[in-house]
Amino acid sequence: MADRLLPTLRDVANAAEVSVGTASKVLSGASGVSAARAQRVWDAARQLGYRRNGIAADLRRGRPSSIGFVLPDLTNQFFVDIARELENHALEHGYQLIMAHADEDPAREMERIRFVMSRQVAGMIIIPCRGYEHAIKEARECNVPLVMADRVDETFPANTVTTDSHGASRDGTAHLIALGHRRIAFLVNTLDLVNSKERADGYIDAMRRAGLDSFIQVVECGMTAAEIHASTLDVLSAAVRPTALFAAGNVTTLGALRALRDANLRLPEDISLLSFDDAPWMAVLRPYLSSIRQPVEAIGHAIWQLMLKLLSGERGEPAHLTFKAELLVRESTARVPEDVLALQRAQAAARR
């Protein structure tokens, strides 16, 4: 022990008067050691306060015991939910999840991926952020099992698990249209994110199908609360403002709500709001927000299953799993009020 802070396996072996090999066997739970000596080892370990050095063990064994998970935003409930799912699955299967946070910053994402890789993880799960191309190249080149989720599409040359964003968005838009809305603004953080792009496309698709091409309004709001707030305020202060807002995500919805509040518009009397992504706090709003809920459990489970398969050595064509989201019609989406419609008609007529 001497001056070292932590006792090592050798210290334990010495104290128990056995060889390091024997001590190792005992402490790593392998069989083939007599009960008496095993007890001696346990005692010595306890007495010395021995802690096994996991990185040394992994290094020696060559088979790491942890899985890396890089997520883009800890503020986004959806990602956090996925993290919890993954963590539970990983722990259940004897793996440790080592989480890293990219904070929606491609440069940091790169750093984080490098770090996690340098920890010699057995596999990597990544929900990328915008401009992630370099980062992902980095990850792919490491030859470790890689599963990408959420912000990817099927063109990606790796295993992916996603929500059917296009379909969900189309359905959501159709719901608004069915309520009589025409001027529906689609608020999205950025079209640089594949899934955001898909959500926007789903919206556009639905609008086109309904013959509402001329009412299509996709607004790129940005990633930060301040940007989203400002953009939405812009939209709301237009001469003729939309009768419904469709926010493409968790965070965007929050920003939109803030703007709605500032503009003093009531939900759903003055304007309807549909949120892509559900979140706990939405339940306490009046009105209760209508939203699109992604099947977090299923997604988390699928990601993990894919990872397990890869871990077991199966390679081959990458799989692309997609899940359907659920439209939750609650109170924030309503029929367009007659007076608003009348006003709009009048304005349109006047302009002609």
Q: Choose among DNA, a second copy, none what residue 206 binds, the Cβ cut-off being 5 to 8 Å by kind.
A: none
DSSP annotation of 327:
E
**What are the φ and ψ backbone dihedral angles of 160, each rounded to 5 degrees?**
-135, 150
134 binds a second copy (CB under 8 A): no
**Which of 225, 263, 321, 328 touches a second copy by CB under 8 A?**
225
Q: How many residues does the chain have?
A: 352
Phi-psi region of 150 (alpha: psi -120 to 50; beta: other; left: phi over 0): left
329 binds DNA (CB under 7 A): no
**Which of 8, 163, 231, 332 touches DNA by CB under 7 A?**
8
* Closest CA relative to residue 276, chosen from 298, 299, 293, 256: 293
- DSSP lists the bridge partners of residue 43 as none
93 binds DNA (CB under 7 A): no
Q: How far is the CB of 115 from a second copy (least distance, A)?
A: 5
59 binds DNA (CB under 7 A): yes
| Pairing assessment for the beta strands 244-247 and 184-188 based on DSSP bridges | parallel
Contacts of residue 31, defined as CB under 8 A and 6 or more positions apart, other chains included, come to 25
Site residues for a second copy, 258-287, by CB under 8 A, read: 258, 260-261, 279-281, 283-286
260 binds DNA (CB under 7 A): no
54 binds a second copy (CB under 8 A): yes
d(CA 307, CA 43): 38
Distance of CA 300 to the CA centre of its chain: 10
Q: Choose among a second copy, DNA, none what residue 264 binds, the Cβ cut-off being 5 to 8 Å by kind.
A: none
Q: Choose among a second copy, DNA, none what residue 67 binds, the Cβ cut-off being 5 to 8 Å by kind.
A: none
| Other beta carbons within 10 Å of 36 | 8
Q: Which residues bind a second copy (CB under 8 A)?
A: 5-6, 49, 51-56, 58-59, 74-75, 77, 80, 83-84, 87, 91, 96, 98-101, 103, 108, 111, 114-115, 117-120, 141-144, 225, 254, 257-258, 260-261, 279-281, 283-286, 288
